[in-house]
């Protein structure tokens, strides 16, 4: 065997940020369990991630010791709960390098965050004093892409129906990349918002956004990035990405369900009318009318998911302590390993980029003619948990001519041994069906 030295002056192998995967795995109680008599092999983190003990403890501790409503109590528990809730907001702002804590709006999930922006548009369109950046009508255009999750398609379809605006989309190439060749014709002076997935939940593609951002700025539109699949897996800096809004969800990044985030530029959030009305979002209320609080409170009507937000803060602490660059590198290595390993399975076809560049650790594939449901069922009998179906991204399946796919997705706690278990399981699938 010959060995090659990395030339001096280049980053050396040991320079790459790393962490102890075995130690991380020990933090996740669920990874100790068995499924159908086999050790759990969880390859479905794009669906939802597992939660480390550090997050579960904070969730339990909050309810056990600091439970009270936020932003309305003068008593000690109320103060503790409010500090914990707002403290979590500050942690999340730092995690994505938001210029201001007030730019972080807590939502239920990414879906709610996207709907919030879409409804702000339609509410502004109904008000004569609505900010022109948010006013939509016939002749205006909304641009998405063919690789969106349903949550970044349907809210815009509904908004287009309500306002008479037109919905357009970027196509996807055969390699599973965003087709930017028609960018200048697609994003024009008629475009009011471009809402684009940062990392595809089905193809794994990580979209390069700089050309699109430049074009969005040129035509004076707004840019929303759906970061549901990227914020959990790579370092995010909203200033560097120069987006107007990003959305992500807590349960895919070691946090609980029921908590998500809308980040928006401060001046844009300030220009948006309220969407949900209720307690906490007002300035003053009379029977004749109300005035509204400044963001983020304006968009957080009612009692929020307090413990969930606090636990998401703990998740961010956990990820930060390990280091997002190290997590990104770990997943890059897993992805490279998996792409090579899957290429050895006869009859396997990958949908999406087949090189570990410009993609994350989410790999969709077909195994011959075997239906994904059957693939998933055989894998489950071996303890291997993958997702099967259209992954709430049916236009992608249509684009590649399949009703459904099988998807394996990785996170910080996955190992190459688990990818070996997947490949061995796929051999078992072939035995049953071929």
Q: Which is nearer to other proteins, 274 or 372 (CB)?
A: 372
Q: Does 422 bind other proteins (CB under 8 A)?
A: no
- Asked if 27 and 51 touch (Cβ cutoff 8 Å), the reply is no
CB of 263 to other proteins, least distance (A): 31
CB of 85 to other proteins, least distance (A): 35
Q: Which is nearer to other proteins, 222 or 397 (CB)?
A: 397
Contact with other proteins (CB under 8 A): which of 353, 361, 372, 425? 372
Q: Which is nearer to other proteins, 53 or 373 (CB)?
A: 373
Q: Does 377 bind other proteins (CB under 8 A)?
A: yes
Q: Does 378 bind other proteins (CB under 8 A)?
A: yes
Q: Which is nearer to other proteins, 101 or 402 (CB)?
A: 402
Cα separation, 310 vs 306, in Å, equals 6
Q: Does 403 bind other proteins (CB under 8 A)?
A: yes
Per-residue x/- track, 319-358, other proteins (CB under 8 A): ----------------------------------------
Contact with other proteins (CB under 8 A): which of 160, 212, 246, 404? 404
Q: Does 389 bind other proteins (CB under 8 A)?
A: yes
Q: Which is nearer to other proteins, 264 or 372 (CB)?
A: 372
CB of 410 to other proteins, least distance (A): 23
CB of 189 to other proteins, least distance (A): 38
Contact with other proteins (CB under 8 A): which of 390, 415, 423, 424? 390
Q: Which is nearer to other proteins, 370 or 412 (CB)?
A: 370
- The yes-or-no answer on residue 227 being catalytic is no
Name the catalytic one among 227, 254, 392, 397.
Answer: 392
Q: Does 371 bind other proteins (CB under 8 A)?
A: yes
- The region of 56-64, 110-118, 130-138, 397-405 touching other proteins under the rule CB under 8 A is 397-405
Of 120, 203, 108, 103, nearest to 156 by C-alpha is: 120
CB of 148 to other proteins, least distance (A): 17
CB of 371 to other proteins, least distance (A): 4
Structure tokens that stand for 218 in this block: 């040129």
Q: Which is nearer to other proteins, 137 or 403 (CB)?
A: 403
- The region of 236-244, 288-296, 316-324, 372-380 touching other proteins under the rule CB under 8 A is 372-380
- Give the list of residues 6+ apart from residue 166 with CB closer than 8 angstroms, or none: 139, 140, 141, 142, 160, 190
Q: Does 416 bind other proteins (CB under 8 A)?
A: no
Q: Does 133 bind other proteins (CB under 8 A)?
A: no
Catalytic amino acids?
A: 392
List contacts with other proteins (CB under 8 A): 36, 371-374, 377-378, 381, 388-390, 394, 397, 403-404, 432-433
């Amino acid at each position: 065997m010959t060995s090659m030295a990395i030339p001096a002056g280049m980053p050396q192998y040991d320079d790459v940020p790393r962490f102890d995967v075995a130690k991380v795995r020990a933090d996740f109680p669920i990874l100790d369990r068995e499924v159908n008599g086999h050790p759990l092999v969880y390859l479905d983190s794009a669906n939802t991630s597992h939660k480390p003990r550090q997050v579960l403890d904070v969730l339990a501790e909050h309810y056990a010791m600091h439970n009270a409503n936020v932003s309305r109590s003068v008593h000690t528990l109320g103060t503790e709960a409010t500090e914990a809730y707002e403290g979590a907001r500050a942690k999340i702002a730092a995690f994505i390098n938001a210029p201001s804590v007030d730019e972080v709006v807590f939502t239920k999930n990414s879906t709610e965050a996207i709907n919030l922006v879409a409804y702000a548009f339609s509410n502004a369109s109904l008000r004569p004093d609505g900010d022109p950046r948010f006013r939509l009508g016939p002749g205006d255009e909304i641009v998405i892409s063919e690789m969106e999750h349903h949550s970044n398609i349907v809210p815009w379809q509904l908004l287009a129906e309500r306002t008479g605006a037109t919905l357009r989309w970027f196509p996807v190439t055969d390699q599973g990349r965003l087709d930017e060749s028609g960018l200048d014709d697609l994003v024009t002076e008629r475009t009011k918002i471009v809402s684009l997935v940062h990392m595809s939940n089905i193809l794994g593609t990580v979209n390069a956004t700089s050309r699109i951002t430049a074009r969005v700025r040129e035509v004076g539109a707004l840019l929303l990035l759906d970061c549901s699949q990227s914020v959990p897996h790579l370092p995010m800096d909203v200033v560097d990405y120069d987006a107007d809004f990003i959305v992500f969800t807590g349960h895919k990044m070691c946090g609980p369900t029921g908590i998500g985030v809308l980040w928006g530029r401060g001046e844009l959030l300030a220009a948006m009318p309220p969407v949900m009305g209720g307690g906490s979002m007002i300035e003053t209320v009379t029977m004749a009318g109300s005035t509204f609080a400044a963001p983020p409170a304006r968009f957080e009507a009612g009692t929020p998911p307090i413990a969930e937000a606090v636990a998401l803060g703990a998740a961010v602490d956990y990820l930060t302590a390990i280091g997002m660059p190290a997590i990104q590198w770990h997943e890059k290595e897993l992805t490279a390993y998996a792409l090579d390993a899957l290429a050895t399975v006869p009859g396997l076809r990958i949908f999406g980029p087949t090189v570990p560049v410009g993609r994350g650790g989410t790999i969709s594939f077909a195994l011959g003619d075997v239906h994904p449901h059957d693939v998933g069922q055989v894998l489950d009998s071996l303890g291997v948990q993958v997702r099967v179906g259209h992954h709430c991204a049916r236009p992608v399946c249509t684009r590649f001519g399949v009703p459904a796919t099988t998807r394996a997705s990785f996170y910080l706690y996955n190992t190459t041994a688990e990818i070996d278990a997947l490949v061995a399981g796929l051999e078992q699938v072939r035995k049953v069906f071929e």
